[in-house]
Amino acid sequence: MQCFIHKSLKKEFLYLYTVSKEDFSTIPEELLTNLGKLELVMELDLTEDRKLAREDASKVMNSLKTKGYFVQLPPTNKTS
């Protein structure tokens, strides 16, 4: 599955995976506002067995198929 990864220039480590390079019509307006300006960082051929740095590929693919996008949130700082 072809996908495009855009980073938010508003918040570090916040990424938007989409099925379209430039068409954001399937993404809720409120989400786009919260993400701010986006920059394309990567085009990727996604498969279920593909290793991603911080996400499960099958989870991302399912979201892309059902919603047309996936949001990768910044890591949370867990302290003990």
CATH number where 14 lies: 3.10.510.20
Any domain includes 78: no
Band of residue 46 on the pLDDT scale cut at 50, 70, 90: very high
Q: Does residue 51 fall inside a structural domain? A: no
Report, as an integer, the average pLDDT of 20-40: 93
Q: 53: which residues sit within 8 A by CB, 6+ positions away? A: none
Looking at residue 6, its pLDDT comes to 97
**In-domain check, residue 8:** yes
Res 37 pLDDT > 80: yes
On whether residue 31 sits in a domain, the answer given is: yes
Q: Average per-residue pLDDT in the chain?
A: 91
Q: Give SS3 for 67.
A: coil
| 80 lies in some domain | no
pTM of the model: 0.88
Nearest 5°: the CA angle 18, 26, 23 is 60
Question: What is the domain range of residue 26?
Answer: 2-46+62-72
Residue 52 lies in a domain: no
Distance CA(3)–CA(21), nearest Å, equals 8
pLDDT tens digits, 55-77: 999 999 999 999 999 999 988 86
Report if residue 55 sits inside a domain: no
Instruction: Output Rg (C-alpha) for the chain, integer angstroms.
Output: 13
Query: Which neighbouring-strand residues pair with 3?
Result: 44
The tally of domains found in the chain comes to 1
